[in-house]
Amino acid sequence: MADLSHGSADAPAHHQLTGIDNRKLGMWVFLSSEFLFFGALINNYLLFKGRDFGPGTLYPVELYDIPFTSISSFVLLMSSLTMVLAHSALARGDQDQTKTWLFATALLGTIFVSGQFFEFGEFILHGLKLNINPAASAFYMLTGFHGLHVVLGVLMLLVLAFKSMRTGGLSEAEGLNVELVGLYWHFVDIIWIVIFVLVYLIQ
Amino acid sequence: MAGGAHHHPQPRQYVSIAIVLAVLTAAEVALFYLEDGVDAIGQSLTVPALLILSALKFYLVVAMFMHLRFEKRLLSRFFTSGAILACGLYLITLAALGAVVLF
For B2-12, how does the pLDDT look when each residue is reduced to its tens digit (9 = 90+)?
A: 444 456 889 99
Looking at beta carbons, which residues of chain A come within 8 Å of B78?
25, 28-29, 32
State the Cα–Cα distance between residues A120 and B64, nearest whole angstrom: 32
Q: What's the pLDDT at A6? A: 46
Q: What's the pLDDT at A94? A: 92
Please answer whether residues B52 and B31 qualify as being in contact, where contact means their C-beta atoms are separated by less than 8 angstroms.
Answer: no
Q: What's the pLDDT at B1? A: 40
Q: What's the pLDDT at B16? A: 96
Residues 42-101 of B with CB under 8 A from A: 47, 50-51, 53-54, 57-58, 61-62, 64-66, 71-72, 74-75, 78-79, 81-83, 85-87, 89-90, 93-94, 97, 99-100
Maximum mean pLDDT: which of A127-131, B2-6, B44-48, B99-103: A127-131
Q: What's the pLDDT at A17? A: 73
Q: What's the pLDDT at A9? A: 43
State the Cα–Cα distance between residues A179 and A176, nearest whole angstrom: 5
Mean pLDDT throughout B49-67?
95
Q: Answer yes or no: do B66 and A43 touch at CB < 8 A.
A: no
Please answer whether residues B34 and B2 qualify as being in contact, where contact means their C-beta atoms are separated by less than 8 angstroms.
Answer: no
Looking at beta carbons, which residues of chain A come within 8 Å of B17?
81
For residue B59, the tally of other CB atoms under 10 A from its CB is: 13
* Residue of chain B nearest A34, judged by CA positions: B82
Q: Does A64 touch chain B (CB under 8 A)?
A: no
Looking at beta carbons, which residues of chain A come within 8 Å of B90?
39-40, 42-43
pTM: 0.89
ipTM: 0.87
Residues of chain A with pLDDT under 50: 1-2, 6-11
Q: pLDDT band at B102, cuts 50/70/90?
A: low
Residue type, B96: A
- The yes-or-no verdict on residue B41 having pLDDT over 80 is no
Q: Answer yes or no: do B11 and A43 touch at CB < 8 A.
A: no
Interface test with B, best of A18, A25, A35, A44 (most B CBs within 10 A): A35
DSSP of B41-71:
HHHHHHHHHHHHHHHHHHHHIIIIIS-GGGS
> Burial, A136: exposed, middle or buried (Cβ in 10 Å; 0-12, 13-18, 19+)?
buried
How does pLDDT run across A4-61, given as a tens digit for each residue? 554 444 445 556 677 788 899 999 999 999 999 999 999 999 999 878 888 888 999 9
State the Cα–Cα distance between residues A22 and A25, nearest whole angstrom: 5
